[in-house]
């Protein structure tokens, strides 16, 4: 009797649907660290990160940004040292942003065209000292305009598209000549990618790449960045007439199609975390490498919550960066790049 029952049980195990055992158990591939690593769909590496860095005038200074814990503004000499350390850690590129003295800001943003301005000197110094690291230069007029907008402004307060593009081309030219490997127009003027591409070709700079801020949204997540570049109080009005409406996603496909047709080499979504659906949409419908900007507000929220003991910063940081990669990004601009490399 006992043997018959055991045989019946074994038969049931072989035909598990009779007694309700699942044939497919996804947990089998989660039971140990080695198997989780082996079957992981998404992997992060130091080569995935671009480190945005703020540059200031002066010497031997690292100035903390109060609204971005762990982030500092660097003088050029300190920037060179930080760039060397970043390159040695495996980070492939830096994105540089200047903190322009208020006395140099004008309505027409003419300091952007100065071949000896802060960002050009920073690009040249880093490229000479650390030629192996990639350098990305932001192209937009907001660091240089007294009104805080990314473009030229009419007497009635409208942002002038075509007139701005002429200045952006001049800005891109001095940056490329100073050592920028990648020009990154973040201004969202219509047609600027094509104009910059033609200018670069005409000037014999055909190998200079363009990373277009394809879907840059008029977001509230930029607040700490504006503190970092000391532009928060200068902005007159908002940027909703040229940056994308947060309610739109399909519009990003149009922006991407235009940028691709105009000669962009790479596309960017900014902010990143709040717009993962846009990243996925572009990944599914375009072929160019796709990047996300883990912006200042997204970064500072993690820091603030961790400082209050509400979450584990390291865990949530890596989860966030993995989300960008999982959504389809080849690269991620993040202020936490150095921290992420250390965690990896």
Query: Rounded CA gap, 5 and 20, in Å?
Result: 18
Looking only at the bridges linking them, the beta strands covering 134-139 and 62-64 are unpaired
Share of the chain above pLDDT 90, in %: 88
How far CA 64 is from CA of 121, 180, 307, in Å, comes to 21, 25, 16
In the predicted model, what is the mean pLDDT of residues 23-33? 91
What confidence score (pLDDT) does residue 231 get? 75
3-state secondary structure of 285: helix
Q: Which residues contact 124 (CB under 8 A, 6 or more apart)?
A: 178, 179
Per the rule left: phi > 0, alpha: psi between -120 and 50, beta: everything else, 230 is left
Residue 134 CA to residue 344 CA, distance in Å, equals 21
Nearest partner of 188 among 251, 100, 234, 233, judged by Cα: 251
C-alpha torsion sign, points 36, 39, 41, 42: positive
Mark whether 18 is an active-site residue.
no
Task: Please compute the mean of the pLDDT values over residues 63-78 and round it to a whole number.
Answer: 96
Residue whose token pair is 């997204």: 298
Tokens of residue 247, six digits: 């309610």
At residue 236 the predicted structure's pLDDT band, cuts being 50, 70 and 90, is: confident
Residue 335's pLDDT is 97
Entry pTM: 0.91
Domains of the chain (ranges, CATH numbers): 46-343 (3.20.20.70)
Task: Give the mean model confidence (pLDDT) for residues 196-203.
Answer: 98
Q: Which residues touch 25 (CB under 8 Å, ≥6 apart)? A: none
Q: Considering the candidates 105, 239, 270, 325, report the single residue annotated as catalytic.
A: 270
Which residue in 216, 239, 303, 325 is the catalytic one? Answer: 216
Instruction: Find tokens 């080569």 and name the residue.
Output: 47
Dist CA 113 CA 102 (whole Å): 16
User: Is 127 among the residues known to form the active site?
Assistant: no
């Amino acid at each position: 009797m006992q043997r018959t029952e055991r045989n019946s049980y074994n038969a049931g195990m072989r035909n598990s649907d009779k007694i309700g055992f699942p044939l497919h158990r996804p947990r089998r591939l989660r039971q140990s660290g080695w198997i989780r690593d082996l079957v992981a769909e998404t992997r992060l590496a130091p080569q995935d990160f671009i480190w945005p860095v703020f540059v200031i005038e002066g010497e031997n200074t690292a100035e903390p940004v109060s609204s971005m814990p762990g982030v500092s503004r660097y003088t050029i000499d300190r920037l060179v040292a930080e760039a060397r350390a970043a390159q040695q850690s495996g980070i492939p590129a830096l994105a540089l942003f200047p903190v322009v003295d208020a006395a140099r800001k004008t309505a027409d943003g003419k300091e952007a065209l100065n071949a000896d301005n802060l960002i050009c000197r920073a690009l040249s110094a880093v490229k000479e000292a650390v030629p192996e690291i990639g350098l990305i230069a932001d192209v937009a007029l907001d660091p240089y305009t007294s009104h805080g907008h990314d473009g030229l402004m009419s007497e009635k307060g409208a942002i002038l598209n075509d007139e701005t593009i002429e200045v952006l081309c001049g800005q891109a030219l001095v940056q490329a000549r100073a050592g920028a490997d990648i020009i990154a127009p973040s201004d969202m003027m219509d047609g600027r990618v094509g104009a910059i591409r033609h200018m670069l070709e005409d000037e014999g700079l055909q190998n200079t790449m363009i990373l277009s801020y394809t879907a840059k949204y008029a977001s509230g997540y930029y607040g700490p960045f504006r503190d970092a570049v000391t532009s928060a109080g200068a902005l007159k009005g908002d940027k909703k007439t040229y940056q994308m409406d947060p309610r739109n996603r399909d519009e990003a496909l149009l922006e991407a199609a235009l940028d691709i047709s105009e000669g962009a080499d790479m596309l960017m979504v900014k902010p990143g975390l709040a717009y993962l659906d846009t990243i996925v949409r572009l990944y599914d419908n375009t072929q160019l490498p796709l990047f996300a900007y883990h912006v200042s507000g997204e970064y500072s929220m993690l820091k603030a919550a961790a400082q209050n003991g509400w979450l584990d910063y390291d865990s949530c940081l890596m989860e966030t960066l993995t989300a960008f990669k999982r959504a389809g990004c080849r690269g991620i601009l993040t202020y936490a790049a150095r921290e992420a490399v250390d965690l990896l």
